[in-house]
């Protein structure tokens, strides 16, 4: 899991001077495996500014397109006069806002920029692509910014070109750490500072009520009506299934640069706004999502196991023969998705999809893992489901996604939600208050034990014997030794005496 420090800071009030390496040291002390800390953009120096293209002269007589441009960079060049720049890209026009590095600047990788004569003209800098800025892989054209971007603005600050990125190897028992949400909570505990839960999304209330259901609150059905019809056909495969709908999404809407940069830093390639939103919410909250093109669905959706002889062509264009133990999302046409692993080609959203059904669910971890291995099909979604996803997230993550589709893509959120679920009894673990002391050989005391368990998210009751209810995002906490381990790691492994 790659986690940009700037993204973590959005949800945890880290002290201003905390660097990625300092945070990594704290997380390692708490038992997480931080493999590397990348200092993205550390070798980048300006002047790197926003410019407006004033004029373009198409140069002829060369084997490839060459343009001689005049670009307004404000006062960044010290004169206020337009900057003359030779550029080989053709995906921009007069009036566009672009990113310009001026002579004396250095791009990522140590690429120094100076004024030089090329193609018969003096080029005083460079108009940049996302790959040259280190925030993407696309080098087919230069980066064109929104029209309201201020000319002369510092592009390093504007685009977040400098950031520390922690790369964390998440062990199978810590699925919660495959999200910004989980890592921000760990960072807040390490520094004993406030944590703002990104999953604390206020859901729409019924028209007759002004109350919105809080995260992890009781009750169901506070939203009016259903979205696309669905049911759970096999409760051993799925115990929560949520659908929401949007319509009128603008397929031409572009993913904003702040989201593209975060996705790139986290190791994912931006694809399109709709796909990027589902990936963004997954990275932030830890809940995999899937978007169906509503017009390609046929009849009600049912979550079930595969029937003998069923087949499905997945998004990677592989036609798969399904196993009776496979967990599927189906409609009247048959299988349309391998649950928690990969969607089907026939119902995928495409470049013109405007009406969509957003799915968020809680699938069986073991069933998802077996299906993924059986088909040799590993995905970001299956990686999370087989390690345990927070069962309470689907309602909130799906609403976060449709709100982003509305805010960034002009979609209309269809009122209502489809929420199918199977009852699951909460787990309560009974543990003597002194059990962590006994395991570690260190006297922590009841107050420290309770405080650490509450920091993890547990509800704790009792005096000498504690009744501990783990939070929904920690399905790995099932016995007293699991709870003792949480107390010991947060109190510090270094305090355990050598034996």
HEC string of 239-306 equals EEEEEEEEECCCCCCCCCHHHHHHHHHCCCCCCCHHHHHHHHHHHHHCCCEEEEEHHHCCCCEEEEEC
Q: Is residue 307 domain-resident?
A: yes
Q: Is the pLDDT of residue 224 over 90?
A: no
How far is Cα 477 from Cα 7, in angstroms, rounded to an integer? 27
- For residue 329 the two structure tokens come to 């999302």
pLDDT for the residue numbered 498: 77
Q: Is the pLDDT of residue 405 over 80?
A: yes
Q: Which of 99-108, 178-187, 217-226, 320-329 has the lowest mean pLDDT?
A: 217-226
Q: Is residue 206 domain-resident?
A: no
Q: Three-state DSSP class for 339?
A: coil
How far is Cα 155 from Cα 397, in angstroms, rounded to an integer? 31
Q: Contact 37/21 with Cβ under 8 angstroms?
A: yes
Residues 290 and 366 placed together within one structural domain of the fold:
yes
Mean pLDDT over 371-381 rounds to 96
How, if at all, do strands 238-247 and 418-421 pair? antiparallel
pLDDT band at 212 (very low <50, low <70, confident <90, very high): very low
Mean pLDDT score across all residues of the chain:
94
Q: Is the pLDDT of residue 171 over 70?
A: yes
pLDDT band at 138 (very low <50, low <70, confident <90, very high): confident
pLDDT for the residue numbered 310: 97
pLDDT band at 222 (very low <50, low <70, confident <90, very high): low
Domain count across the chain: 4
How far is Cα 112 from Cα 298, in angstroms, rounded to an integer? 57
pLDDT for the residue numbered 370: 97
pLDDT for the residue numbered 265: 97
CA distances from 291 to 251, 269, 337, 388, 498 (A): 14, 17, 11, 21, 53
Q: Which of 134-143, 186-195, 312-321, 423-432 has the lowest mean pLDDT?
A: 134-143
Q: Which residue has the tokens 């996803």?
A: 389
Q: Is residue 245 domain-resident?
A: yes
pLDDT band at 213 (very low <50, low <70, confident <90, very high): very low
Residues 60 and 79 placed together within one structural domain of the fold:
yes
Q: Is the pLDDT of residue 482 over 70?
A: yes
pLDDT tens, residue by residue, 60-114? 999 999 999 999 999 999 999 999 999 999 999 999 999 999 999 999 999 999 9
- For residue 367 the two structure tokens come to 């069933």
User: Helices in 10-161 by DSSP H: which ranges?
Assistant: 20-29, 130-133, 155-159
Mean pLDDT over 291-316 rounds to 97
pLDDT for the residue numbered 210: 41
Mean pLDDT over 124-149 rounds to 94
Residues 250 and 367 placed together within one structural domain of the fold:
yes
pLDDT for the residue numbered 140: 82
Q: Is residue 106 domain-resident?
A: yes
Residues 275 and 186 placed together within one structural domain of the fold:
no
Q: Is residue 401 domain-resident?
A: yes
Residues 87 and 133 placed together within one structural domain of the fold:
yes
Residue at which a domain ends, from 376, 404, 421? 421
Q: Contact 457/216 with Cβ under 8 angstroms?
A: no
CATH number at residue 363: 3.50.40.10
Q: Three-state DSSP class for 489?
A: helix
Q: Which residue has the tokens 């672009």?
A: 98
pLDDT for the residue numbered 207: 62
Mean pLDDT over 398-404 rounds to 98
How, if at all, do strands 301-305 and 230-232 pair? parallel
In eight-state DSSP terms, residue 344 is B
Q: Could you give phi then psi for residue 65, rounded to 5 degrees?
A: -65, 130
Residues 347 and 475 placed together within one structural domain of the fold:
no
Residue ranges making up the domain that contains 146: 48-159
Residues 66 and 129 placed together within one structural domain of the fold:
yes
Residues 69 and 127 placed together within one structural domain of the fold:
yes
Residues 308 and 353 placed together within one structural domain of the fold:
yes
Q: Is the pLDDT of residue 209 over 70?
A: no
Q: Is the pLDDT of residue 215 over 70?
A: no
Instruction: Kindly tell me the burial class for residue 106, based on how many C-beta atoms sit within 10 Å of its own C-beta (0-12, 13-18, 19 or more).
Output: middle
Mean pLDDT over 477-497 rounds to 94
- For residue 401 the two structure tokens come to 């996604």
pLDDT band at 495 (very low <50, low <70, confident <90, very high): confident
Mean pLDDT over 431-435 rounds to 98
Residue at which a domain ends, from 421, 440, 458? 421
pLDDT for the residue numbered 211: 44
Taking the mean position of all CA atoms in its chain, how far away is CA 81?
A: 42
CATH number at residue 33: 3.30.56.10
Q: Three-state DSSP class for 161?
A: coil
* Contacting residues for 60 by C-beta, under 8 A, at least 6 apart: none
Mean pLDDT over 176-185 rounds to 98
Q: Contact 430/467 with Cβ under 8 angstroms?
A: yes
Mean pLDDT over 297-304 rounds to 98
Residues 249 and 336 placed together within one structural domain of the fold:
yes
Mean pLDDT over 155-178 rounds to 96
How far is Cα 1 from Cα 74, in angstroms, rounded to an integer? 40
> Which H helix or E strand runs over 382?
helix 380-385
Q: Which of 110-119, 209-218, 393-402, 482-491 has the lowest mean pLDDT?
A: 209-218
Q: Is residue 393 domain-resident?
A: yes
By percentage, how much of the chain surpasses pLDDT 90? Answer: 93
Q: Is the pLDDT of residue 387 over 50?
A: yes
Q: Is residue 17 domain-resident?
A: yes
Mean pLDDT over 375-391 rounds to 96
Residues 326 and 438 placed together within one structural domain of the fold:
no
Residues 355 and 433 placed together within one structural domain of the fold:
no
Question: Prior bond to 110 cis, omega within 30?
Answer: no
Q: Is residue 217 domain-resident?
A: no
| Closest CA relative to residue 413, chosen from 271, 260, 225, 213 | 225
Residue at which a domain ends, from 421, 451, 481? 421
CA distances from 439 to 213, 468, 479 (A): 40, 17, 13
pLDDT band at 223 (very low <50, low <70, confident <90, very high): confident
Instruction: Kindly tell me the burial class for residue 357, based on how many C-beta atoms sit within 10 Å of its own C-beta (0-12, 13-18, 19 or more).
Output: buried
């Amino acid at each position: 899991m790659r986690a940009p420090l700037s993204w973590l800071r959005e949800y945890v009030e880290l002290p201003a001077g905390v660097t990625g390496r300092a945070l990594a040291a704290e997380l390692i002390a708490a038992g997480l495996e931080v493999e590397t800390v990348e200092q993205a953009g550390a070798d980048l120096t300006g002047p790197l500014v926003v410019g407006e293209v004033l004029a373009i002269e198409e140069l002829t007589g060369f084997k490839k397109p060459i343009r001689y441009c005049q670009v307004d960079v404000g006062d960044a060049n010290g004169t206020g006069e337009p900057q003359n720049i030779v550029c080989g890209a053709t995906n921009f026009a007069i009036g566009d806002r672009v990113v310009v590095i001026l002579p004396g600047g250095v791009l990522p990788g140590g690429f120094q920029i100076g004024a030089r004569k090329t193609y018969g003209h003096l080029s005083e800098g460079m108009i940049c692509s996302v790959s040259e800025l280190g925030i993407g892989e696309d080098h087919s054209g230069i980066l064109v910014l929104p029209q309201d971007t201020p000319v002369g603005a510092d592009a390093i600050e504007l685009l977040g070109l400098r950031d520390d990125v922690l790369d964390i190897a998440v062990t199978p028992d810590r699925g919660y750490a495959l999200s910004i949400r989980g890592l921000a909570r760990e960072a807040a505990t390490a520094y004993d500072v406030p944590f703002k839960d990104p999953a604390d999304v206020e859901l729409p209330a019924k028209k007759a009520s002004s109350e919105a259901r809080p995260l992890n609150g009781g009750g169901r059905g506070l939203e009016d009506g259903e979205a696309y019809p669905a049911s759970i056909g096999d409760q051993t495969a799925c115990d929560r299934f949520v659908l929401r709908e949007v319509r009128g999404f603008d397929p031409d809407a572009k993913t904003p640069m702040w989201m593209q940069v975060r996705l790139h830093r986290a190791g994912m390639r931006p694809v399109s706004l709709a796909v990027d939103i589902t990936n963004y919410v997954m990275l932030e909250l830890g809940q995999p999502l899937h978007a169906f093109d509503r017009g390609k669905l046929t009849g009600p959706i049912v979550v079930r196991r595969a029937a003998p002889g069923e087949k499905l062509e997945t998004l990677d264009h592989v036609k798969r023969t399904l196993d009776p133990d496979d967990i599927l999302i189906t409609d009247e046409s048959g299988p349309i998705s391998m649950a928690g692993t990969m969607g089907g080609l026939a119902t995928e959203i495409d470049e013109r999809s405007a009406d969509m059904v957003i799915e968020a669910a809680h699938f069986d971890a073991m069933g998802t893992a077996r299906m993924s291995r059986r088909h040799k099909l590993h995905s970001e979604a299956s990686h999370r489901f087989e390690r345990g996803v927070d069962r309470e997230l689907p309602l909130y993550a799906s609403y976060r996604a449709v709100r982003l589709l509305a805010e960034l893509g002009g979609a209309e959120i269809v009122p209502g939600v489809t929420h199918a679920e199977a009852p699951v009894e909460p787990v309560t673990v009974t543990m003597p208050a002194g059990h962590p002391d006994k395991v570690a050989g260190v006297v922590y005391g009841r107050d420290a034990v309770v405080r650490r368990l509450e920091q993890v998210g547990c509800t704790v009751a009792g005096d000498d014997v504690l009744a501990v209810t783990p939070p929904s995002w920690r399905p790995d906490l099932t016995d007293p030794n699991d709870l003792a381990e949480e107390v010991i790691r947060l109190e510090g492994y270094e305090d355990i005496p050598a034996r």
